[in-house]
């Protein structure tokens, strides 16, 4: 048995033997909204959607205006963090990155129970998100002023 898996098993057994606090966590992926590209060639689907991951997006969970969890996406656009706590109806996740429109989502709509089943009930929750952010339109170039 590898040392890491032994430690994880020991931690789970210790948690099971005493009253543990409920887990509140969030994980997921942040990508850019799809950009269409044309593919040529026989057997090609014609148009393929490309959704590149967004590195460095800030993902924050707030419950009743209190910061509960915070994460930054990695190069694959993924994040994963947890703490002891419970999700309520007032919990939201905000995803933001410079150059993209921010998104805010209700946590309870993305919760899974400790058994991995979808649940919309407040309580222990591992919220899973797949978030697409819309790139902001580039600023138009300044209008040129005709010479007198």
- Using pLDDT thresholds of 50, 70 and 90, give the confidence band for residue 28: very high
In angstroms, the CA 102 to CA 59 distance is 10
CB atoms within 10 A of CB 10: 10
Q: Each residue of 77-105: pLDDT tens digit?
A: 999 999 888 887 888 999 999 999 999 99
Mean pLDDT value across residues 127-148: 76
Yes or no: is domain 21-133 CATH 2.60.40.10?
yes
Domain chopping of the chain, boundaries: 21-133
Average per-residue pLDDT for the chain = 78
- pLDDT tens sequence across 43-84: 666 666 678 999 999 999 998 888 999 999 999 999 999 988
């Amino acid at each position: 048995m590898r040392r890491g898996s032994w430690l994880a098993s020991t931690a789970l057994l210790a948690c099971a033997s005493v009253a543990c606090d409920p887990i509140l966590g969030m994980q997921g992926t942040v990508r850019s909204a799809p950009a269409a590209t044309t593919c040529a060639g026989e057997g090609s689907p014609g148009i393929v959607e490309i959704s590149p991951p967004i590195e460095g997006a800030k993902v924050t969970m707030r419950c009743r205006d209190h910061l509960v969890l915070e994460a930054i996406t990695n190069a694959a656009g993924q994040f994963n963090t947890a703490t002891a706590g419970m999700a309520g109806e007032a919990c939201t996740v905000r995803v933001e990155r410079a150059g993209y429109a921010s998104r805010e989502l209700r946590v309870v709509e993305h919760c899974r129970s400790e058994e991995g089943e979808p649940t919309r009930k407040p309580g222990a929750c591992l919220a899973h998100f797949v978030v697409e952010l819309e790139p902001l339109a580039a600023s138009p170039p300044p209008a040129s002023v005709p010479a007198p």
